[in-house]
Structure formats: structure tokens, C-alpha cells
């Protein structure tokens, strides 16, 4: 019998124990090397043990770990300046996680309406298939029954409509609407990019009705799509953006970005966090940006993404019994499986490669952004072998 665990049993963990990581590789306790194209679910943006991040963390650890937000923290000002210089935003609030960045984004939107003399506007329109986190407000925003069940009444103020359905959005707007919240590419929902025209139409609707447009870029932001943030592909910008995951490269860090106007209600005392913007997190966040904003880095992401796209398209052609469709942008890729996605994930893991499950029977590939073309081809070869195995199994079953 398996030994009882002292941990909450909220996760279905794979029986794998990793001891260390090197770039795109994770090394298990028994020495087996796994190609890590899960990257901590889009967190290890620069892979494992990146020397620049390690040096930044060590250097800061020898100076000061934590200061309260009662004092000025130069690392916050530096990181916020770089984020605002490179985006639509004028203001930044730092958090420790994605859900907290979303909480800040939702509070910012509601508070904006409040400050404009419209306190009745607190509803946020969200989309089916969304995932925004596991706090009480973000499970209400995500609207997924499996995450809401048993936790008491759903937090009020969230209205959900089908993804990509503009008429449904229009019909959902009332005198109580404060904001529209969307992932430009749904991650957990199954790597579903929102069409550019849809995002542009949401921008127009928000302008017309005085609503805040919030983008959740917790998973798709910080270089993952080949731009610093995914909104840059859409030709429009949001009023508020939540980032996390890749921004800390593995150190817990999130950020809520907003225009000056959107953040105008967030005056002294309206929000706070003990750890948000802690000096260790700021040192690592700044080090991540040193690399991601470095010359040619985003171009590298786009180039490697092309290697993946072409390779995956060819695998989809060759193994139609296993791969139904390839989705995504940049290094946020989805393989819609023609077999149960759990079987594909298992077959890929048997080839010593890690990927992540998602909705709609999709497997997510979220490789570190430093993945080289050669490492991409190694990953493709492993998916090919997994597809061969599954094709053979399927053929045997139908023979």
C-alpha cells in the first residue's frame, strides 16, 4: 500500500522526482534525463539554472532578502520602468503569483469605475474555457464548475460567454459591467488563440461603453509568443494586463500592469502585499528581462517556433490517427490528440520528454524560450517515436 502523504492530496502527481535541471533538461534522482518542454507550465522561461539568473539571485541573497513595501525598493522601480517602457502600461503592481496579479487586475478595473462615480459597475465578462487561477475570485472568473464545486457561493460579479462570440459579449454588457477579461491565447482551455479581429472588436466595445479591457497574459506573456506580450500581435492594447509565470523564470513573481488612467483609482491604502516585489524576486525578474529584451532574443523565439510548427505539421500529416491538429503561437503550442490525450502524454513521457495536459484533448508544449533548433528537433523526434508507438497500438486494436 502506498504510504500516506502529509501533503494535501489536491494534485495527481506523476511518480517522478527531479534532482536538478540544466537548460532544457531535468535530471531525475536515478540520473534519467528528461527533455523539459513543460517548463513548470510556462514558468522556466530561460530553462533551468540559467547562469545569469543564478548569479542575480545569489548576488541579491548576500545583500538583502526582504524589505517591507513600507520602504522604497529600487529593484521594483527598475523592473516597473522596464515593463512600462516596453509596453502600453504606465503603472505596475508586483505580486507573487498569477492569481494575485489577476486579483489586482480585477480590483483595478472595479476601482476605476468606482473612482469615476460608477460604483454599480463591478461585473466582469469572462470567457468559457478560461483559467485565471484558484483564489475565490479567480475561480469565479474562470467559471469552471470543477473548480467552483464545494467552495460556497460563487463570488458575485462574473458573467461568462462563449469564447470568440462577439454577439454574446454585446448582449452581456449592462449598466453593471466594469470590464472584459480575456486570455489572448487560452492555455489550460486547450491553446486556443483569440482571433485578432475579435480582440480588436473587444477593444472597440470597451471604448464605446467605458469598460476596462483586461488581458490575462500569465501564460502567454514574457516572450512566449515571440513578442514581449501577446497583445502586441493584435494591433490593440488592453487597459490592464496580468503577468506571472515566465516573468520570474521560476522565482515566484507576478505583475499587474495598467495605464495611468486605469490605475487612477488605486490610491494609497487600496491594495497591498507583504511579499509582492520582494528584492529577491526583483533581482530575478530584472535578470529575466536582461535576457528576454536582449538583442535578437525574441527573434530567436520566433525562429525556433517555426522549427516546431513545421515539424509538428509534418507529424500531424504522417500520424493522423494520433494527431488531429496543431495549435498555438510561438512557443505556446498545442497538439490536439486523436487518441485520449492522457495516452499521448504518457507515450511522450515514455520517450523521456515532459509536456502538459490541457482542455479539449490537447497536449501543451511550452518549451523554455532558450530552446535551440537542435533541441526542438530532438523533441520532435521523441514525439515522432511516441506517435509511432500509439499508431502501432491503434493498428493492433483494429486488426
Ligand X SMILES: Cc1ncc(COP(=O)(O)O)c(C=O)c1O
Judged by CB under 6 A, which of 188, 239, 329, 375 binds ligand X?
188
- Residue pair 220/332 in contact (Cβ under 8 Å)? The answer is yes
The verdict on 365 binding ligand X (CB under 6 A) reads: no
Per-residue contact string for residues 201-220; x = within reach of ligand X by CB under 6 A = ---------------x-xx-
Binding span for ligand X by CB under 6 A among 94-102, 195-203, 327-335, 351-359: 94-102
Nearer to ligand X among residue 99 and residue 298 (C-beta): 99
Nearer to ligand X among residue 25 and residue 127 (C-beta): 127
- Residue pair 107/100 in contact (Cβ under 8 Å)? The answer is no
Nearer to ligand X among residue 241 and residue 323 (C-beta): 241
Stated length of the chain: 399
Nearer to ligand X among residue 47 and residue 98 (C-beta): 98
Binding span for ligand X by CB under 6 A among 97-105, 339-347, 349-357, 385-393: 97-105
The verdict on 364 binding ligand X (CB under 6 A) reads: no
Nearer to ligand X among residue 234 and residue 389 (C-beta): 234
Per-residue contact string for residues 157-186; x = within reach of ligand X by CB under 6 A = --------------------------x---
The verdict on 97 binding ligand X (CB under 6 A) reads: yes
Judged by CB under 6 A, which of 187, 221, 246, 249 binds ligand X?
187
The verdict on 44 binding ligand X (CB under 6 A) reads: no
Judged by CB under 6 A, which of 75, 98, 248, 276 binds ligand X?
98
Which parts of 241-260 interact with ligand X (CB under 6 A)? 244
Per-residue contact string for residues 102-141; x = within reach of ligand X by CB under 6 A = x----------------------------xxx--------
**Interface ranges with ligand X (CB under 6 A):** 41, 97-99, 102, 131-133, 183, 187-188, 216, 218-219, 244
Amino acid at each position: 500500500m502506498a504510504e500516506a502523504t502529509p501533503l494535501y492530496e489536491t494534485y495527481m502527481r506523476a511518480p517522478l522526482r527531479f534532482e536538478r535541471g540544466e537548460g532544457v533538461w531535468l535530471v531525475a534522482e536515478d540520473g534519467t534525463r528528461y527533455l523539459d518542454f513543460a517548463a513548470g507550465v510556462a514558468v522556466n522561461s530561460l530553462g533551468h539554472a540559467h547562469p545569469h539568473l543564478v548569479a542575480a539571485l545569489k548576488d541579491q541573497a548576500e545583500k538583502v532578502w526582504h524589505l517591507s513595501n513600507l520602504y522604497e525598493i529600487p529593484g521594483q522601480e527598475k523592473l516597473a520602468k522596464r515593463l512600462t517602457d516596453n509596453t502600453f502600461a504606465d503603472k505596475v503592481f508586483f505580486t507573487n503569483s498569477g492569481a494575485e496579479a489577476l486579483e489586482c487586475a480585477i480590483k483595478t478595473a472595479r476601482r476605476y469605475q468606482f473612482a469615476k462615480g460608477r460604483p454599480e459597475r463591478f461585473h466582469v465578462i469572462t470567457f468559457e474555457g478560461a483559467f485565471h487561477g484558484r483564489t475565490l475570485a479567480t475561480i469565479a472568473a474562470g467559471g469552471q464548475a470543477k473548480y467552483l464545486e464545494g467552495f460556497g457561493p460563487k463570488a458575485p460579479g462574473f458573467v461568462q460567454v462563449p469564447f470568440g462570440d462577439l454577439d454574446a459579449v454585446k448582449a452581456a454588457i449592462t449598466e453593471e459591467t466594469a470590464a472584459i477579461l480575456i486570455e489572448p491565447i487560452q492555455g489550460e482551455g486547450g491553446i486556443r488563440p483569440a482571433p485578432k479581429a475579435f480582440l480588436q472588436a473587444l477593444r472597440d466595445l470597451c471604448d464605446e461603453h467605458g469598460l476596462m479591457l483586461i488581458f490575462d497574459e500569465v501564460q502567454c506573456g514574457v516572450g512566449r509568443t515571440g513578442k514581449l506580450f501577446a497583445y502586441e500581435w493584435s494591433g490593440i492594447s488592453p487597459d490592464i494586463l496580468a503577468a506571472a509565470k515566465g516573468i520570474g523564470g521560476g522565482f515566484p513573481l507576478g505583475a499587474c500592469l495598467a495605464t495611468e488612467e486605469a490605475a487612477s483609482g488605486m490610491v494609497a491604502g487600496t491594495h497591498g502585499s507583504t511579499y509582492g516585489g520582494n528584492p529577491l524576486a526583483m533581482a530575478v525578474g530584472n535578470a529575466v528581462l536582461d535576457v528576454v529584451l536582449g538583442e535578437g532574443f525574441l527573434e530567436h523565439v520566433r525562429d525556433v517556433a517555426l522549427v516546431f510548427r513545421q515539424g509538428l505539421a509534418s507529424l500531424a500529416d504522417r500520424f493522423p490517427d494520433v494527431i488531429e491538429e496543431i495549435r498555438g503561437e510561438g512557443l505556446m503550442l498545442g497538439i490536439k490528440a486523436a487518441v485520449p490525450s492522457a495516452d499521448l502524454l504518457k507515450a511522450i513521457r515514455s520517450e523521456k520528454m515532459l509536456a502538459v495536459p490541457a482542455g479539449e484533448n490537447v497536449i501543451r508544449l511550452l518549451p523554455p524560450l532558450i530552446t535551440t533548433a537542435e533541441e526542438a528537433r530532438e523533441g520532435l523526434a521523441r514525439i515522432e517515436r511516441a506517435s509511432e508507438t500509439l499508431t502501432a497500438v491503434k493498428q493492433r486494436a483494429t486488426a
